[in-house]
Amino acid sequence: MANIERLVEKKKVAPLIRIMKKGNKSARIEAIHALGRVKDASGFSELVFYLNDPDTEIRRAVAEALGSLGDGHAKAHLDYAMYKEDDPVTRETMHQAMLSIKDY
């Protein structure tokens, strides 16, 4: 989506969060990945909340975005989400995201 890329370029976090919350599934996933690319801490708590989304694809995208953000505080959230996760692919995605985050 060209619109999302413009938001990333301008580091507009609030509209990306709105899309993540209210868009269709593909737009939500794209907005989630975009939040990881923006690397702005204001999107962190919103992303963490969606580690509990009922959709496994959303949870995977959130884990990838948190890994991209690189915020050391995400490790605890990912670890807990990984512990509760039933889907093995999502669990592995969370594990890989944790490995990509430097210790704080």
Average confidence (pLDDT) over 30-50: 92
> The dihedral of CA 5, 6, 9, 15: what is its sign?
negative
Question: Between 12 and 39, where is the model more confident?
Answer: 12
Q: Which two tokens stand for residue 17?
A: 């969060």
pLDDT for residue 2: 64
Nearest to 79 by CA among 45, 67, 56, 68: 67
State the Cα–Cα distance between residues 66 and 60, nearest whole angstrom: 10
Tell me the whole-structure pTM to 2 decimals.
Answer: 0.92
Residue 86's CB is within 10 A of a number of other CB atoms, namely 7
Q: Which two tokens stand for residue 77?
A: 């959230």
Round the average pLDDT of the chain to a whole number and report it.
92
pLDDT of residue 64 exceeding 90, the answer is yes
pLDDT for residue 1: 59
Show the domain range for 33. Answer: 2-100
Average confidence (pLDDT) over 63-91: 94
pLDDT for residue 13: 93
Nearest to 75 by CA among 103, 49, 42, 56: 103
Rg (CA), the chain: 13
Q: Domain with 14 in it: what CATH number?
A: 1.25.10.10
What is the tally of structural domains in the chain? 1
Average confidence (pLDDT) over 41-62: 94
pLDDT for residue 99: 94
